[in-house]
Every structure is written in structure tokens, then in C-alpha cells.
Amino acid sequence: MNDMLLSIEPLIPALRRYARALVRNSATADDLVQDCLERAVSRWNQRREGELRPWLFAILHNLAVSQFRQLAARGQHVGLDAATERDLGQDAVQEKKLMYQDVLDRLARLPEDQRSVLLLVAVEDLSYAEAAKVLNIPVGTVMSRLSRARERLHQELEEPAKSAPKGPVQLRSVK
Amino acid sequence: MNHRPITEDDLHAYVDCVLEPERRAEVAAYLGGHPDVAERIAGYTNERDLMRAALADIADEPLPPQLNLARIIENRRQRSWPAWWAIAAILLISISGLGGWEIRGAMQPSGGGLAALAQEAAYSYGVYAPDRTRPVEIKASDSAQLVQWVSSRLQQPVKVPDLTDAGYRLMGGRLIATSNGPAAMFMYDDDRGSRLVVLTRPMQTEQSAPMAPHSGDGVSGFAWADGGMGYSMVGQVAPDLLKPIANEARKQLRAI
């Protein structure tokens, strides 16, 4: 019991981050993480040794995807957090905040399958093989989705005016 | 010296900092000679940093009460105990209430049928499927020995369905004691943590019966009987997903 607590607990912040970046609504994201933890606790005996992180991310990812599907089927969508700026911390300078906001907006415009690969690999530091396990796809597919995700995100960042007419944020060339 | 050509995968691994130092140096040298690619890769790296920074604070926020894992574990424990006590109590009542084994014969006509088999399969699933240490007595690698053993104990040739096409790999099996004599249990795993159990034993009644669904306690199952042998397949799988697997198993068991 204790072993379960000690091994899962340190991973909860990362699970929250992944959920929030996927659904962009903190209440919905935390509900998903709660579901994920409950499932993990009840299926603790079915996990495989040494694969805790991908196992937890897989449970969370599958819950998020089935929720997307349900909402899509009902023609609903989750409202986006209005308060993302607050989430980014008070001390960040205004310009940084805008850049963060902008990259998150562009991330949100990626197709769901590309966004999850990018988040798992580039933000959550899962290996390509672990990401493949989470998404239940071959590693080759992870690589091609990663490539498409980065290309698309990059193009959007390069030419904000062309692909995002509503984006009021003027980006300076970053570094 | 000939270098391996640089691939797009190498470039991503470079951005994600997961290349071996030697390969990393090769990619860096390549980028030095190809400013256009280098610019794109610098952009990828920059966007990766930006994304990480934008999301970093979420992981630093204090966890809300609903994500208190100790409490989730505690709730789960409180929920699961009564269920086990209830099962134990029902078993005790059904044994003692009937005045012991002397009158066991009296309940045979109704007790040995498909419903009883389904219940036995569900109990076996509840006990063995969550077992991490020894879910099966004999592993799939010794399946010939397994089949020989259970066949001799059931005094019937026992067959093991192959569920590979449905994504389930045979883990192995064991002999189970039921109130209707010994039964053979086979366990399958889909390599993603989902397990199925198939229980089979000779039928005293309902020696041939069409497939019927059963469910309870979070598991669903399908039971049927053919040629004097009863079968029940049980798992934590939605019935509409389980049914085609059960159908496939029945087809194989009939065909052999």
C-alpha cells in the first residue's frame, strides 16, 4: 500500500501538467487526473514492473481521449481556462507571458494526436519508446507525428499573421 | 571515415537531448555545415524551451484535495473490504445453512449448471487476475504439461483456446476447486494490464447450453456448454468487446 503511495505520488504534478495542457481547463484536467489515480489504485496489481510512468500516462491519456470523443459526440466542448495568465505566475514579465500564451495557443491548435506526442516527449521527457507505449502506436508513428507537430508549430510561430489571423500577439524573433 | 547519414529522427533526438554524445557531435557538425537546417532545428529547440517554461508552473502548484492519493487509497480500501466480507459471508451461510456436505447431493440439479459455472469463473477472476506473484500455477511455456495435468484431473480432454488474434496472450493456468468438482482455469493478458480468465469443467446439468452473458462486481462474462463441458470467459472488459472473443473461443473449442 505504502509502496503504491510512494511511487505514484511524485508523478502527480506531471500528470496534472499533461492533462491541463491537453484539455486546457484546470477543473476538467484535475477530474481526469483524479479518475486516473483511482484507476491506478484499483489496478495496481495489473501494472508491469518498471513501467510505472508510461502506465500512468496511458491511463490518463485514454481517459482524456474518451472524454474528447464523448464531448464531440454530444457536440459540446470544454471551456478554456480564462485564467491561463494567472497560472503562469505573477513575476513573469509581460512579454514572456505573451510568448507563453502564444505558444500554448498554437499548441492547442495542433491535432490531438500530434499534440499528445509533443507533450509526452518534449515536456514530460518520456522516451520515444515510452510515448509509443502510452499511445499504443509504433515508435515510427511517434517519430512522424513528432516531426509533423514540430514543423507545424514552428511554421505557426514563424508566420503568425498567415495562419492565425486573430492572433494579436506580435512575436519578436526569439533568441 | 564514413559517417552514417543524418536522419530526421536524429534531428529530433538532438532537439530532445537524447542522442549519444558521439552521435550528437556528428549532428552538430552537420548543422554547422547546413545553416538552413540549423535554423529550423534552433527554432524547434527554442519552441521546446518555450513550451516547457510555459507549462512548468502547473507542476509546482499545490495539489488540490481531490488529488490526495493517501485519501484515494483509503477510500478504495474502505469500499473493497465490505465486498469481500459479503462474499465470505455468503459462502459461509450457503455451506452451514445447508447443514454441511451430507446433503450436497440435494442441491446438485440446480447447482451444477451454467449459472454456477459463471459464478465460479467470476470468483476465480477476482482471486487470481489481480495476483502479481503467481496468477497461474503452470506458465504458457509449459502448456503441454498444463493441458495434460488438467485433462487428467478433469478426466476429460481439455483444450486451450488461442486468443492471440484478439490481442490476448496465454499466460498459463491452474486447477481450481469448485463445489462442482475440479475446474481448469486459463488466464490471458493483453500486455496492457487487462486479463481474461477462461474456466472450464464437466457439466452435471445443462451439458449443452447456448452462450449467455453474466456480470457483476465490475466484471462481465459469457458462459456456454458444449458436449458436456462448460466454459465461462470473464474479464474487466465491456460485454460487447468480450462477446466476439468468447465466440472465437467457442468456435475453436468446437473445431478441434
Q: What value does the mean pLDDT take over residues B30-38?
A: 95
Q: What is the predicted pLDDT for the residue at B84?
A: 66
Which residues of chain A lie closer than 8 angstroms to B8, CB-CB? 143, 147
- pLDDT at residue B208, as a whole number: 85
Q: What is the pLDDT averaged over residues A121-134?
A: 95
* CB atoms A146 and B12 under 8 Å: yes
B43–A158 CB contact, under 8 Å: yes
The dihedral sign for the CA sequence B165, B166, B169, B172: negative
- Report the pLDDT value the prediction gives residue B233, as an integer from 0 to 100: 95
User: Is A1-80's fold the same as A83-175's?
Assistant: no
Q: What is the pLDDT of residues B218-250, one digit of tens each?
A: 789 999 998 889 999 999 988 888 999 999 999
What letter does residue B217 receive in the DSSP assignment?
Answer: T
pLDDT tens digits, B87-126? 777 776 666 655 544 444 443 434 678 888 998 899 899 8
Nearest to B58 among A16, A46, A103 (CB): A16
CATH assignment of A1-80, given 1.10.405, 1.10.101, 1.10.1740, 1.10.155?
A: 1.10.1740
User: Under a CB-based contact definition with an 8 Å cutoff, are residues B194 and B236 in contact?
Assistant: yes
Q: How far apart are CA B190 and CA B165, in angstroms?
A: 11
| A83-175 is classed CATH 1.10.10.10 | yes
CB A149 within 8 A of CB A117: yes
Task: Tell me the three state secondary structure of residue A97.
Answer: helix
Q: What are the residue boundaries of the structural domains of chain A, listed by start?
A: 1-80, 83-175
Which of A85, A146, A155 is most worth mutating to test chain B (most B CB atoms within 10 A of its CB)? A146
**pLDDT confidence bin for A167, thresholds 50/70/90:** very low
**Interface test with chain B among A11, A39, A42, A136, by most B beta carbons within 10 Å:** A42
Would you state the cell numbers that stand for residue A57, as one nine-digit string? 500516462
The shortest CB-CB distance from A37 to any of B67, B131, B195 is to: B67
- The reply to whether residue A34 touches residue B66, judged by beta carbons under 8 angstroms, is yes
Contact A105, B51 (CB under 8 A): no
pTM for this structure? 0.56
pLDDT, tens digit, 9 for 90 and up, residues A10-47: 999 999 999 999 988 889 999 999 999 999 998 888 88
CA pseudo-torsion sign A141, A47, B60, B62: positive
The DSSP bridge pattern shows strands B181-189 and B169-178 to be: antiparallel
Residue the block writes with cell 513550451: B51
For residue B13, what are the contacts with CB-CB under 8 A and spacing of at least 6?
Answer: A128, B19, B23
Chain B closest CA to A75's CA: distance in Å? Answer: 24
- Whether A45 sits inside 8 A of B52 (CB atoms) is no
The more confident residue out of B27 and A164 is B27
Residue with cell 462442482: B180
pLDDT band at A153 (very low <50, low <70, confident <90, very high): very high
All residues of chain B having their beta carbon less than 8 Å from the beta carbon of residue A143 are 8-9, 12
- Confidence band, pLDDT 50/70/90 cuts, at residue B27: very high
Q: Chain A contacts of B79, Cβ < 8 Å?
A: none
CA distance A120 to chain B (A): 11
Mutate which: B58, B76, B78, B84, vs A, most A CBs within 10 A: B58
Q: Is ipTM over 0.85?
A: no
Tell me the C-alpha to C-alpha distance, in Å, between residue B136 and each of A100, B130, B142, B179, B234: 52, 11, 11, 21, 16
Inter-chain residue contact A147 with B8, CB threshold 8 Å: yes
**Domains, chain B:** 8-60 (no CATH), 113-255 (3.30.200.100)
Task: Provide the β-strand partners of residue B198.
Answer: B186, B233
Contacts of A156 (CB under 8 A, 6+ apart): A106, A109, A163, A164
pLDDT by residue (tens digit) across A47-102?
877 789 999 999 999 999 888 887 777 765 555 565 444 444 555 567 888 888 88
Which residues are registered as beta bridge partners of B183? B176
